[in-house]
Amino acid sequence: MTFDPARPHRRFNPLTGGWVQVSPQRMGRPWQGEVSEPDPPPPAYDPTCYLCPGNARVGGETNPAYEGVHVFDNDFPALLDEPGSAAGDDPLFRAEASGGVSRVICFSPDHGRSLPRLSPAQIRAVIDTWADQTAELGARFAHVQVFENKGAMMGCSNPHPHGQVWATAHVPQEPAAEDARQRAYLAEHGRAMLLDVAEREAAGERTLEVNADWLAIVPFWAAWPFETLLLPRFRVARMPDLAPTQRDSLAAILKALTTRYDNLFRTSFPYSMGWHGAPFTDEPADHWQLHAHFYPPLLRSASVRKFMVGYEMLAEPQRDLTPERAAEMLRGVSGIVHYAD
Ligand code: H2U
Ligand code: ZN
């Protein structure tokens, strides 16, 4: 049997070992690309925002009059920096202690400017902060998770541009799965998996953006409609290892990718994004390639989202829109001029 990408098929995610059901025949109707009124960005300062400079936080502290990136300890941390209770060994009711640290990272003092509307130098400052936090926390914890949760649709009620960093003594399950699969790929093929992906995709139909150091693609195995993967085109295992020029080129591609996202439905595109890098353990990290995932929920317009329910919850993720078509749509809007500028 030959593989016909226009017929229903499943695609394999080599990073996690998962599968996604693709049903392109349901995409038959021509895509209208619903035109909605563009969403105006929020004001530069919001007196009620707990992240704006000089404002009070819910925890009682007051933010300094910060001018660049600002990091503070989460007032409601999900992880506590103290040893928890001992591990249990009951095979059915198993638990283990998990301590850690969680911080909030304000990208900019400007309440209304999300990543694509920051200057390359401002984005570079965010990257430097991500790298510094990763290095500092990586000295004490095995895994440092840098992420951004953006948009009310993703459960984030505050538009002030910000992300978080959580560090844990254990490697959580997503990066742990990637660790195992990248290690197995290196053992089998003698190359880092994501370096091979970057090479194979560089000029491909799933590529959105490419520069000297980085590549933004809709991965072949994407589960979310407009999911993307940001890959280095050079060997690098962790964010602190990025050279200054590689951080500048990263700022450029982040700006371009997020500009395309916002322009697609002329809205501040919601997503969860985050970085995966090699754990801070004594193990060799040559199988690891640093990368970022973007998981946006939107499907058809600024308000019509994809739900991961039903078959997705009980069987496996399913999509109608092919990753190739999603990439084409994202390539069809500007990666340079933001709709709000
Ligand atoms: P979201 O990215 O999910 O919106 O998270 C914002 C974080 O900010 C959230 O983890 C924290 C919340 O605990 N926060 C503070 O640390 N201080 C505050 O005054 C409000 C919110
Ligand atoms: Zn604000």
pLDDT value for 31: 52
Q: Show pLDDT as tens, one digit a residue, over the chain (341 residues).
A: 778 888 999 999 999 999 999 999 887 555 555 566 788 889 999 999 999 999 999 988 999 999 999 999 999 999 998 866 777 788 999 888 889 999 999 999 999 999 999 999 999 999 999 999 999 999 999 999 999 999 999 998 899 999 999 999 999 999 999 999 999 999 999 999 999 999 999 989 999 999 999 999 999 999 999 999 999 999 999 999 999 999 999 999 999 999 999 999 999 999 999 999 999 999 999 999 999 999 999 999 999 999 999 999 999 999 999 999 999 999 999 999 999 99
Token pair for 73: 């300890």
Per-residue confidence (pLDDT) for residue 33, from 0 to 100: 54
Residues near ligand 2 ion, CB 5 Å cutoff: 46, 49, 51-52, 111, 160
Beta strands 100-106 and 70-73: pairing type? antiparallel
Q: How many Cα atoms occupy the beta-carbon half-sphere of 174 within 13 Å?
A: 9
- pLDDT of the residue at 89: 80
Q: How far is the CA of 159 from the centre of ligand 2 (A)?
A: 7
Catalytic residue, from 143, 162, 287, 293: name it. 162
Q: Which atom of ligand 1 is nearest to the CA of 150?
A: 2
Instruction: Give the number of the atom of ligand 1 that is nearest the alpha carbon of residue 158.
Output: 4
- Dihedral angle over CA of 206, 212, 213, 215, nearest 10: -10
Count helices and strands in the chain by DSSP H and E runs: 6, 12
Q: What are phi and psi of 258, to 5 degrees?
A: -70, -25
Q: How far apart are CA 42 and CA 71, in angstroms?
A: 22
The position carrying tokens 């078959």 is 311
Residue in 60, 158, 160 with CA at minimum distance from that of residue 109 = 160
pLDDT at position 3, please? 82
Q: Whose CA is nearest to atom 20 of ligand 1?
A: 58
Q: Does residue 162 carry a catalytic annotation?
A: yes
pLDDT at 109: 98
Beta strands in 74-219 (DSSP E): 100-106, 143-150, 162-168, 207-210, 214-217
**Strand 228-232 versus strand 214-217 pairing type:** antiparallel
Report d(CA 11, CA 241) in Å as an integer. Answer: 32
Question: Whose alpha carbon is nearest atom 3 of ligand 1?
Answer: 156
- Residue 77 CA to residue 70 CA, distance in Å, equals 17
